[in-house]
Amino acid sequence: MTVYEPGREIELLATIDVLVAGGGVSGCAAAVAAARAGAETVLVERNGVLGGVATAGLMANIGNLLLDRNGRLVIRGITKEVIDRLVVRGAASAQWASREVPGIVVDSEQLKLVLARMLREAGVRVLNYTWAARPIMEGSWVRGAFVETKEGRRAILASVVVDATGEADLAARAGCPMRWTSGTASLEFKMGRVHLEELYNHFKEHPETFPVGMDMVKGFAEFERNWLERGIFFFPHGGGTKWDIFQQAIADGVFIPRRGELWRLDAVGLYGLRWLDSVIVNSNFWRVETLAPERVSRVQMEAQEACYYVADFMKKHVPGFEDAYIVQMASDLGIRVTRGIEGEATLTGESARESQPVFFDDVIGCRPAVADYSRTGEFLWGHTFDIPYGVLLPREVEGLLVGSGKSVSCQPQELIRGMSTCMVLGQAAGVAAALAAKKGVPPRKLDVRSLQRTLLEQGAYLGDKERLRELGL
């Protein structure tokens, strides 16, 4: 059944060059990049904080895909700037730039602050508590968005819109052909008063119990160096499924890894820093078959119960957790991937796994290629694959770019959803939007070399010197 909503005049909130919808790490990178490229930019974010999954979702670990296997820095630009700023604040380890570091663990509270400062310094107008409800369409052109605020519905007109909502809300409503992936979601939680040194000592005494070859961690020796030399506590996600403490408890019927619609409560990964007495726990999965609010809300409540179930078990059974308690549960369920656009180009898993570099003429960023750990003993190759501009461009819709790693055009959809690539994509979408707005051309018709030149000016990495020469850059 449907109900008719009568047409009405909507108050105009702003007329600008670039509107960015969604203030996760992708959207923040997009807005900062657009403003730095000279565009008058507005960012709308439904939450009261910036950072999305990385903050409201408590996912305080930037997967270290900045370096290839040889330690060459192949993701730079805004991604690196965010990390550098976190390091200055003591919110990340200064020794992150090593191939031995699987993830750059960060203080999620300070990430909120760093993103807000970067937006403010760039001159972006930030509107929190503002939902991008639907695109304003003129035929197949997106001309802005209707937004919902506490003061009612408003309109924002923009020369170009960047959809960084994660689930590509605007692209889907604009009529772009979409793909749906039933990805997974997890509710992260943070435990305080944790004695990580005690847990490290436990593994030192029983190194054979440390999981090997998971989540970019090779084994105990690497884990130990990260803890002792870099202050990073990185126990791989999924590690609990190979950890005797959890597995023995499951065998004894003391721990049940399934609860309602959630499973693998034993999949714990732990992320901490030496100078904080807290650790993020990543431990449960839900299959996202729908974004219907009733269902998502029910699962989120179930996941909150599950967080306490896991935390109570850890307090009783995991060394170093005797005094611990949950200081915070993520306010947002962390959704990995669901909707993705069909773009002008689609990046495939084969490109990401090639044993040779993969080049695209319209490269807007690079990422280390993935190696098969079970065959090579390495997680990455010493070369990269290019990310083409076409993955940001939704088919059949104009005036819109998608800038979130969760929803650009990829198969599989999760290929480049890590935070480091999210910021690469966001930065590229922001610069492209700014240039298209300035030149009065649709993003699809933008001169890619001018986009690449501006990205290089903004510190992005698009390839080594030889490759840049080949591209005429």
Ligand X SMILES: Cc1cc2nc3c(=O)[nH]c(=O)nc-3n(C[C@H](O)[C@H](O)[C@H](O)COP(=O)(O)OP(=O)(O)OC[C@H]3O[C@@H](n4cnc5c(N)ncnc54)[C@H](O)[C@@H]3O)c2cc1C
Report, in Å, the least distance between residue 207 CB and ligand X. 24
Between residue 415 and residue 444, which ones bind ligand X under the rule CB under 6 A? 417-419, 422
**Before 412, cis peptide (omega within 30)?**
yes
Report, in Å, the least distance between residue 419 CB and ligand X. 4
Q: Which residues contact 312 (CB under 8 A, 6 or more apart)?
A: none
Between residue 296 and residue 355, which ones bind ligand X under the rule CB under 6 A? 334-336
First-to-last alpha carbon distance for the chain, in angstroms, is 56
Q: Which residues contact 370 (CB under 8 A, 6 or more apart)?
A: 352, 353, 379, 380, 381
For 213-218, the CB contacts below 8 A with 24+ separation are 213/373, 213/374, 214/238, 214/239, 214/242, 215/102, 215/103, 215/239, 215/269, 216/63, 216/64, 216/102, 216/103, 216/379, 217/102, 218/377
Q: CA-CA distance, 343 to 392, in Å (whole number)?
A: 6
Nearer to ligand X, 249 or 425 (CB): 425
Per CB under 6 A, does 75 bind ligand X? no
- Out of 59, 124, 161, 431, which residue is the one contacting ligand X (CB under 6 A)? 59
**How many CB atoms within 10 Å of residue 259?**
15
Place of tokens 């269902």: 295
Taken in order 40, 46, 51, 53, the sign of the CA dihedral is: negative
Nearer to ligand X, 150 or 465 (CB): 150
- Out of 39, 54, 83, 387, which residue is the one contacting ligand X (CB under 6 A)? 54
Nearer to ligand X, 185 or 194 (CB): 185
What mask of x and - would describe binding to ligand X in positions 127 to 146, judged by CB under 6 A?
A: ----xx--------------
Report, in Å, the least distance between residue 468 CB and ligand X. 26
Report, in Å, the least distance between residue 228 CB and ligand X. 22
Size of site (CB under 6 A) for ligand X: 37
Report, in Å, the least distance between residue 378 CB and ligand X. 19
- Out of 19, 40, 43, 46, which residue is the one contacting ligand X (CB under 6 A)? 46
Token digits for 205? 């005494």
Contact residues: ligand X, CB under 6 A: 21-27, 44-47, 52-54, 57, 59, 61-63, 103, 131-132, 164-166, 169, 186, 334-336, 404-406, 417-419, 422
